[in-house]
Amino acid sequence: MNLLAAASESSLPLWMVGAYLVALLGLGIFSSTLFRGTSKDYFVASRSIGPFMLLMSVFGTTMTGFALVGSTGKAFMTGVATFGAVAVWSGIIHSSVFFIIGTRLWAIGKRLGYVTQVQFFRERFQSHTLGTVLFVLLVLFIIPYLLIGIISAGKFMEGTADITPWKTGLVICSVVLTYVFLGGVRSAAWANTFQTLVFMLTGVVAFAMIAKAVAAKTDEGPGTFLQNVKRSTEFVEEHKPARLTRGIHPATLAEYQEYETSLGKYEEYESLKDTWDALVQDMGGEELAATVMDKPELVEKPEFMASPKPSMTKLLWITYLFIPLSIGMFPHVFQHWLTAKSAKTFRLAIVAHPICIAVVWLPCVIIGTWAAGLHEFALKGELQPENIIEPFADLKNPSDVLGVMVGHLVQSPWLTGLLMIGVLAAIMSSLDSQFACLGTMFTNDIILPWKGKDYFSDSDTVKIARYFVVGVVVVAYLLSFALMKTASVFNLGMWCFSGFSALFPIVFAALYWKRATAVGAYACIAVTAVLWVLWFQESGYGANKGFTVLGMLPMAPLTISSALALIIGSLVSRAPEERQINKFFPSKAR
């Protein structure tokens, strides 16, 4: 009976996850019954989504494994500076992009009937070929972004439940595929709303439970919620203080200064020893040499210590602001913008999005910072009980951090199951939008222009989109195997976002600069492609996680270069026709 109870308890989290997936699948199938049977409903939910669902769907689709698994791993390596560098900039810039880009694209898309970015760019720049080139580039950038979700889920479930990644990937891809296949973007919006609420709630619970578990390792032990947070942070202050500051922590500096003092003493000892040895040999005696050995403080050789460096330089921290610009070029976010019922629908998303980011990112970053303290503690062999020393001491891949923290610190199977549900909800809330988006793009940007928009019936168009969704899911699932063992979720995301950020000048210029031309857009694309490939190769195809260009993240000089190329290319080329261009600019802006 005891063995049966133990087996039942150990499998409880998986049963909870299974029940959640069934509930999600049921919600997805129910939402698909609201599907109106038209391509417009399948691609943009008939432009009927209200404020709250728009907020949840847009926020949910941006909070991928990069935000949870990736941010926790990055904080493990860098510390609390991760929150300021990524989350704070994202909160400010995302809302700004929603206002200056999202609302205007929604208005143009509704008036002219667009459902994809490529449709907008083709007509704005009067170039079918430009749209095709952008289609290829956007797909090449979004596929790694999609892979982040599958890899994150595999890494997390392997760390918490010892489930092989291919099984996790197969299950979540199958669930997401089912409701996206049936209901398109409408089902994705419903599922995103549910899943976003789930992972925000469970994130707060996870933070509280992990804080209690880390506080238990301190001398004071666990207490109230605020006491646990304070004691857990003090634990890091004691064992890995460098993770609690962007610059050089005073404790690290003091340790290095002590090292330099010891080094000076050792060098003094070496000099004296050489001198005394020479004298001893000349005089033929050994008693004088013993006087040196009477100074033990000069004899001990210090361990090697590198000169302390800040976890993140000011210049590097500033260049992180280029990351959130990428949201302006995300095809799946563009598609969700087009689902809005009216321009007023954006108000809640603009105001509340930064708050939602803080609720999700802050706990993840702090958990990663605590993990760094536990890792350092475990390396000293002091972490108890004995059976949890090895997982923390062996932490090498940052993508494994969140799974290990949940799997080895949260002892209640009920809570473990709840936290597993939360992480999977965050990951899957972006996968569904990306799957639906790629199916929409292949159908509307390749097949329909090739055959002609009147060649297929409306129902046939929906069928084609569904077939492409299936193909995208299968390809993404297979590609995830090649990267599962070695990929850093945060680093893979950074290179993916670099490409989208570098293309941001195109959408900004298309909306706010009448003089922007197709030649300028081509120049922007060419500079982006060449520099991205060059620097990606120099980074060892992403293996060098600290790769910078002139002390900056690659996306900063990449975006600046692409913007300059767009400006120069537009100015040296022929201005677009006034009659054609005016339909993209409101009369008030003329």
**pLDDT per position as a tens digit, 185-226:** 999 999 989 988 888 888 888 888 888 888 887 778 888 888
Sorting pLDDT into bands at 50, 70 and 90, what band is 589? very low
Res. 125: pLDDT tops 60: yes
pLDDT digits (tens, 9 = 90+) for 323-377: 889 999 999 999 999 999 998 999 999 999 999 988 888 888 888 888 888 888 8
Using DSSP, state whether 63 is helix, strand or coil.
coil
pLDDT score recorded for residue 382: 58
Res. 285: pLDDT tops 80: no
Q: Which of 121-130, 380-389, 489-498 has the lowest mean pLDDT?
A: 380-389
Contact (CB, 8 A) for 517 and 509: no
pLDDT digits (tens, 9 = 90+) for 521-559: 999 999 999 999 999 888 877 777 778 888 888 889 999
pLDDT score recorded for residue 224: 87
Residues 589, 392: Cα–Cα separation, whole Å = 58
Sorting pLDDT into bands at 50, 70 and 90, what band is 321? confident
Mean pLDDT of 151-175: 83
Q: Cβ neighbours of residue 376 under 8 Å, at least 6 residues apart?
A: 239, 240
pTM (predicted TM-score): 0.79
In angstroms and rounded to an integer, the radius of gyration of the C-alpha atoms of the chain is 28
Sorting pLDDT into bands at 50, 70 and 90, what band is 267? low
> CB under 8 Å, gap of 24 or more: what pairs does 473-481 form?
473/173, 473/176, 473/177, 473/435, 475/143, 476/143, 476/146, 476/147, 476/150, 476/173, 476/435, 477/150, 477/169, 477/170, 477/173, 479/143, 479/147, 480/147, 480/150, 480/151, 480/154, 480/165, 480/169, 481/166
pLDDT score recorded for residue 290: 46
Res. 292: pLDDT tops 60: no
Query: Percent of the chain at pLDDT above 70?
Result: 81
Sorting pLDDT into bands at 50, 70 and 90, what band is 86? confident
Res. 487: pLDDT tops 60: no
Res. 24: pLDDT tops 60: yes
Res. 48: pLDDT tops 80: yes
pLDDT score recorded for residue 329: 93
Q: Which two tokens stand for residue 133?
A: 């080139």
pLDDT score recorded for residue 127: 92
CA-based nearest residue to 242, from 57, 80, 97: 80
438, 198, 399, 213 alpha-carbon torsion, rounded to 10° = 180
pLDDT score recorded for residue 311: 62
541: left (phi over 0), alpha (psi -120 to 50) or beta: left
- At CA 115, angle to CA 111 and CA 116, rounded to 5? 120
Res. 483: pLDDT tops 80: no
Sorting pLDDT into bands at 50, 70 and 90, what band is 61? confident
Burial string for 495-507 (b: 16+ CB within 10 Å, else e) reads: bbbbbbbbbbbbb
Mean pLDDT of 71-83: 80
pLDDT score recorded for residue 523: 96
- From 3.40.50.300, 3.20.20.150, 1.10.10.10, 1.20.1730.10, which CATH number describes the 9-243+321-482 domain? 1.20.1730.10
Residues 524, 529: Cα–Cα separation, whole Å = 9
CA-based nearest residue to 141, from 344, 384, 326: 326
Pick from 26-30, 100-104, 158-162, 269-273 the range whose average pLDDT is largest: 100-104
Res. 391: pLDDT tops 70: no
Which residue in the block uniquely carries the two structure tokens 């002609």? 452
Mean pLDDT of 128-152: 86
pLDDT digits (tens, 9 = 90+) for 569-581: 999 999 988 888 8
Q: Please state, in angstroms and as integers, the Cα–Cα distance from residue 503 to each residue in 66, 245, 442, 524, 563, following that order.
A: 20, 33, 20, 7, 8
Which residue in the block uniquely carries the two structure tokens 């002139």? 550
Residues 570, 82: Cα–Cα separation, whole Å = 37
Q: Which of 30-39, 197-206, 287-296, 443-452 has the lowest mean pLDDT?
A: 287-296
- pLDDT averaged over the chain? 81
Res. 261: pLDDT tops 70: no
Which residue in the block uniquely carries the two structure tokens 């929409």? 440
Contact (CB, 8 A) for 443 and 463: no
pLDDT score recorded for residue 23: 92
Res. 242: pLDDT tops 80: no
Domain spans of the chain, in order of start:
9-243+321-482, 252-298
Mean pLDDT of 222-235: 87
